[in-house]
Amino acid sequence: MPLKHPDTNINEEHVFIALNFVHLYALVSMWQKKYFSLWTQVLLFIFLIITTNLVTAQEYQLSSKDKKAIKYYNNAASYYKNSDYNEAIESLEKCVSQDAKFIEAWLLLGDAYAEVNSKYKAISAYETAISIDSLFFLPVYYFLANLNYEIGEYRKAANLYTYFARQPSVSNDLLLLTYQRLLFARKATELVENPIPGSIQNIGPNVNTSNDEYINYVNTDKDFMMLTRRTATNIQNKGYKEDLYYASRNDSTWENPEPVNLDWREDMNMGSLNLSADGRSMYFTGCYWPSGQGNCDLYVSHKLGSEWLDPENLGDNINTSTWESQPIISSNGKKLFFASKRKGGQGGSDIWMSVKLKNDNWSPPVNLGDSINSPKDEMAPFLHADGKTLFFASNGHPGLGGYDLFISRQDELGQWSLAANIGYPTNSRYNEINIFTSIDGKRSWISSDRANGLGGMDIYSFDNYMEILPRKIMYVEGIVVDKVTKKPLKAEIQITNLSTSELINTTISDSINGSFLLVVFPGIDYAFNISKTGYLFLSENINLKDSIGVGSVKKQFALSPFTKGNQLIMNNVYFKFNQYELLPSSYIELDKLVEILVQYPTSNIEITGHTDSIGNIDYNMELSMKRAVSVGNYLIKNGIEGKRLEFKAMGSSRPVAPNEFEQGRAKNRRTEISIK
């Protein structure tokens, strides 16, 4: 039976939908704008006008009879509708002091407190109203649920959403929204009641300030960091300015950041930085640049020595007239992920991916789909160097409030798994915006505006836990130099899958300091080659088929000039066991030898075969000669004159490693090339 309200002829249905204009206005302004479609907002606005007229026509009577209290209340309602919330609060506090049972005043006081972000006071005011009459204004349970969710009282919020959803007067639109919020509250309850192991640490006052700091990049040794700092400014009327900084770590303490010197920047706004795996290409967002196509575009700058070269706009396929930001480049440089508000997405800001074409242009991007993108906002993608583990921030997937960080993994078919919240307390009821995970997958850094920080967004770090560990990777990091002069060299580095003969990745070492980095994966046998005109190429084998105990390679690589007497060890020339027939995996390296002999048509070489110590001396000498001749026959077959070749057999007489174990024997089974 409908509840009759005192002194009126308005029943419960009227109270529910039209108790007073102010509270329904608050319902729309606080929540509908955020969650409902524009059409729904229009319908609600029309509905408000109708129901407000209904209330006026029936001369709705307030619950208080105290004239002084009613005067305070009417003044407060006027202040509230004019968005003067502090004045409204002052009047309402006088009002409820005058009449402690004035239920409409408590409700409006809760609204006003919520508007000035005094959430605990708003909760107290709403709960007081409920204690006076629990059925007087049912939407207050929805307000209370939202506020409890925002302060981290997720289980209480879930109970309030459930109670509100069971009320027969709730409209279908609001019921749908309530169920949506209930899903979030239940997920948040689950996350908080099942926290992840470990702890999260603020990296300290040397880096973090009262401004916003965002993590961008940490090097392989975890002792060098790049970050974006946002400060208040009037430049371009944006209200803020973003600058790039770098910081070094001394023992366990990060030192004070220094600005990144970019001569070409000319005080233009730039941020959302990502560095390539080798730290030599910088992808970033430039907002309101003269070369931009929209308000924010994506750019790349390449590093030469210690200098960042003039940036390039990433072009029409990437940038549009809308908003593109937060680029992340894959470790092989072939895929670009970024956030965009372009048409064709799931809604709001989505994450997109583009592939580098053979002409070095970027393909039209594809949306990563609804397993990652939601009707709300996804941003700040981070792809780990494994190429399969994607982190991003979202306020559209169930979480703890604000923006949470999520993880998705790509399977062998290229499909991305359903986004999973990375857990509490890494995520909090505040905003966690972006993440960077070290190349070894052991540690992560995030940006968050959680409580007890130093102000705004701060950078925090934590040890990764099992649920978010990326796929294990390794890398080859080095410096290429001239073997004689030790001068750094610009050279081409290639890494090839020996099983499939597929070129996995290629890069060029820095012409100033000779540095490079390439990512490799366990379970694969690689041929690794460094080549430069005027030098013998350098050959190594990186066998990660059984990678237990094998670590990343960090060393100096010295190239020998192509001159008489210098030698080249062919580490990726293979034969069948106890035979001299070349295996197909040898062709990659032998083709490189053909190339260099074509470049030097007057040169002659000596091909020397070596074996391990298994077998007798005479047999090994014969086998090593046959293997050297097999190499020569391959060169002849590919256009090298036979008269340029000499052959020599050394058998097992000159080992370069102990023969007691297979690893050493493998090194001894080698082919050497000497320039004659």
- Return the pLDDT at 238: 60
**HSE on the CB side for 299, CA within 13 Å?**
29
Cα–Cα distance measured from residue 199 to residue 507, given in angstroms and rounded to the nearest whole number: 38
- Return the pLDDT at 251: 83
Per-residue tokens: 473? 């990777």
Helix, strand, coil in percent for the chain, rounding step 5: 30, 30, 40
Instruction: Return the bridge partners of 477, or none.
Output: 517, 554
Q: Count other Cβ atoms within 10 Å, centred on residue 235.
A: 12
Q: Say which residues have a Cβ less than 8 Å from residue 322's Cβ, sequence separation at least 6.
A: 294, 295, 340, 341, 342, 343
Q: Is the peptide bond before 522 cis (omega within 30 degrees of 0)?
A: no
pLDDT in tens, 416-429: 999 999 999 999 99
- Return the pLDDT at 234: 64
Query: By the 8 A CB rule, do 80 and 88 touch?
Result: yes
Q: What domains sit in the chain, N to C, each tagged with a CATH number?
A: 12-193 (1.25.40.10), 201-468 (2.120.10.30), 472-561 (2.60.40.2190), 564-676 (3.30.1330.60)
Query: By the 8 A CB rule, do 191 and 428 touch?
Result: no
pLDDT in tens, 493-514: 999 999 898 999 999 999 999 9
The beta-strand segments (E) located in 611-664 are 645-651
Residue of 442, 438, 444, 430 lying closest to 402 (CA atoms): 430
- Return the pLDDT at 281: 96
- Return the pLDDT at 38: 34
The residues of the chain scoring below 50 in pLDDT are: 1-59
- Return the pLDDT at 624: 94
Q: CA torsion 249→251→253→256, rounded to 10°?
A: -40
The total number of residues written for the chain in this structure: 676
- Return the pLDDT at 54: 34
pTM of the model: 0.85
